[in-house]
């Protein structure tokens, strides 16, 4: 008897990071002056922090490109620092949990690319000097493992630094940007593209239906081109011999690292995978199947598995990408989920820590 065989697996990981940080010398007239801020202090501190970060980057990440000062990023960083010095919560996220700098940068540069932000605040009882503030900011960012990783991240090639000071309080904001891939990846070699495209559309339709019925309060999963690209790469790799697994040989969450390169070190990432067509028993053949059957088996199988079902119905996720590859009679499907970072605690310049659940 010829039977189609399928298998599936899931992963869910909450990635978080203290937000990226890096330098960029001030650009004249990059932004209007912050009301009541000590502009001389701000300009000196911006220059010193930027120089210090470039020195650390040159020392510990020699292959990383120099951070090019970008007038738009500088304007955004200065506006963020000014807003916070005037009472906006010291947080990377707004009241809805969305990463403020990410929205600002993507509104200017488009939906592709990696964005990072690091915030530093000092509120002393004694007068604060620009050199002392710059030194404390640099030391704090380099001492934190996530901040340090962002500072040395070669994916970032442009940055903007902003500082604002009122009385004895000073705030520094660094916004980083790395350009993403603007074109879809090439079709998977040897894959039946008509099958893949039809199956992807049907899986999306099925998942949207399940989510609307069983999690009506959850946001609709918005298709994201970068997540779709990553999902297709994952399915293609597995169709061509990569392990049917969420992790590599060192235990690293493969999709998580790929998503991090696009979205930065914060937020929630989940992955469901499945395959159909490879016989699990020696000598047992498989029969042909179409994209309709494959999509139905994928959605039904995921919904019957508690872990996969949890990913599909999780209200934390608001973005998704589906990728299918069909090579030599074997079909693979990958769905990658993405959600924004949780809102940081009040008066905190860092993102709240997300604890990765068991995969």
Q: pLDDT digits over 175-216, tens only?
A: 998 876 544 456 898 999 999 999 999 999 999 999 999 999
Residue 274 three-state SS: strand
Q: Is-contact 206 308, C-beta < 8 A?
A: no
SS3 of the chain: helix, strand, coil, percent, to 5: 40, 20, 40
pLDDT at residue 98, rounded to an integer: 73
Question: Token pair for residue 339?
Answer: 């959600």
- Name the residue among 96, 130, 131, 101 with its Cα closest to residue 113: 101
Q: pLDDT digits over 253-276, tens only?
A: 988 888 887 777 678 899 999 999
First-to-last C-alpha distance (Å) of the chain:
35
Q: Is-contact 91 340, C-beta < 8 A?
A: no
Q: Is-contact 334 272, C-beta < 8 A?
A: yes
pLDDT at residue 31, rounded to an integer: 52
Q: Is-contact 39 85, C-beta < 8 A?
A: no
Distance separating alpha carbons of residues 359 and 356, to the nearest angstrom: 8
Distance separating alpha carbons of residues 62 and 42, to the nearest angstrom: 28
Integer CA distances (angstroms), 20 to 263, 288, 289, 317, 323, in order: 11, 49, 47, 22, 29
Segments of the chain with pLDDT less than 70: 1-32, 96-97, 111-112, 180-186, 265, 278-287, 342-359
Distance separating alpha carbons of residues 318 and 35, to the nearest angstrom: 37
pLDDT at residue 300, rounded to an integer: 96
């Amino acid at each position: 008897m010829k039977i189609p065989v399928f298998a599936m697996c899931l992963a869910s990981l909450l990635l978080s990071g203290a937000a990226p940080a890096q330098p960029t010398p001030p650009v004249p007239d990059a932004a209007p002056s912050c009301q009541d801020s000590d502009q001389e202090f701000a300009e000196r501190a911006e220059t010193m922090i930027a120089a210090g970060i470039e020195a650390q980057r040159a020392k510990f990440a020699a292959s990383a490109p120099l951070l090019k000062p970008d007038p738009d990023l500088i304007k955004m960083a200065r506006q963020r620092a000014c807003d916070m010095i005037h009472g906006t919560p010291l947080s990377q996220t707004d009241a809805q949990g969305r990463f403020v700098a990410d929205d600002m940068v993507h509104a200017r540069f488009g939906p592709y690319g990696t964005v990072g932000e690091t915030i530093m605040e000092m509120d002393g009882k004694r007068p604060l000097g620009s050199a002392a503030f710059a030194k404390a900011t640099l030391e704090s960012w380099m001492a934190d493992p996530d901040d340090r990783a962002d500072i040395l991240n070669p994916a970032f090639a442009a940055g903007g630094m902003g500082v604002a000071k009122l009385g004895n309080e000073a705030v520094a904001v660094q916004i980083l940007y790395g350009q993403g891939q603007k074109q879809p990846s090439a079709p998977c070699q040897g894959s039946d593209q008509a099958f893949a495209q039809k199956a992807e559309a049907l899986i999306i339709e099925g998942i949207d239906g399940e989510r609307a019925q069983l999690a009506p309060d959850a946001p609709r999963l918005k298709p994201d081109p970068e997540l779709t690209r990553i999902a297709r790469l994952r399915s293609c790799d597995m169709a061509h011999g990569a392990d049917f697994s969420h992790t590599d040989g060192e235990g690293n969450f493969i999709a998580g690292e790929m998503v991090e390169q696009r979205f930065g070190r914060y937020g929630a990432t989940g992955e469901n995978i499945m395959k159909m067509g490879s016989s699990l028993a020696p000598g047992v053949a498989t029969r042909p199947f179409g994209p309709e059957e494959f999509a139905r088996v994928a959605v039904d199988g995921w919904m019957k598995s508690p872990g996969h079902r949890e990913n599909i119905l999780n209200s934390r996720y608001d973005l998704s990408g589906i990728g299918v590859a069909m090579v030599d009679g074997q079909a693979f499907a990958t769905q990658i989920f993405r959600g924004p970072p949780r809102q940081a605690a009040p008066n905190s310049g860092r993102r709240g820590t997300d604890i990765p659940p068991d995969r």
